[in-house]
Amino acid sequence: MWAWFAAVRERADVKINIVFPATEDHVRKYRKQQYAMFRESPELYKNIVEPYISSLPKSRTQWVQDILDGKSEVEKVLFSSSDFILLPDMKWDLRTLSSLYIVAIARNSSIKCLRDLRACHLPLLKGIEAAAHSVVQERWGLGFSDLRMFVHYQPTYYHFHVHIVNANAGESAARMSVGQAHLLGDVISLLEVDGHVYERMTLSYQLGLESKLAELYRLFSTTRERATS
């Protein structure tokens, strides 16, 4: 269950996000922890990350499917096509333009993350880019250079989506840090150069050391060391 409770006053002193029900993954995500950089080769993706993604229950992204199926958040959808939808992210209060935050969610559930993108997905990515600019320009008057569009890797949930934020947004800028965000324009350009680039390249990113994926990296490393000793 996801919901917003808005106590409106002219100058808010604090912003509180409530997640309910909170899973262990939510607790790990928001608990203060140390971070480290990881370099994911195609081999490590096949041996660690892909099996991890495949092991996640469908219930983890059922809320996404409910949105795509029109079972929830119907009134919030800003744009809908056969390939994707646009709607406000839960982190945006729908009032403060400087913190505008929209998400584009692909309808194709087989695209889990950045690693799955191929040249055949270029129409989808370009469609998201064009629709986002059009919707934001029409509704809020922000131009091309006023938006950041990016893909997280690793993402919070494994159903492909694109983040669209105000370029001047302070809070979201923290989530644009090196080690997680890939600009949509760069993703498109790389796929135009090599349609299999995300299958072949090594990707670097940061992980919280309490995350399940970091734990799997440690286990894989320990197992490999024992096998070679």
What 3-state class would DSSP assign to 100?
coil
Q: 101 near 163, Cβ under 8 Å? A: yes
Provide the annotated active-site residues: 161
- CA dist 184 and 129 (Å) reads 8
Which contacts of 15-18 are long-range, i.e. CB under 8 A and separated by 24 or more positions? 15/93, 17/91
Query: Which DSSP state fits 47?
Result: I
Q: Which of 125, 116, 170 is nearest to 149 (CA)?
A: 125
- CA dist 204 and 206 (Å) reads 7
User: From residue 165, how far is each of 21, 30, 127, 146 by CA, in Å?
Assistant: 26, 21, 17, 9
- CA dist 90 and 4 (Å) reads 8
- Dihedral sign (CA 174, 79, 3, 206): negative
User: From residue 25, how far is each of 31, 71, 161, 210 by CA, in Å?
Assistant: 10, 25, 19, 9
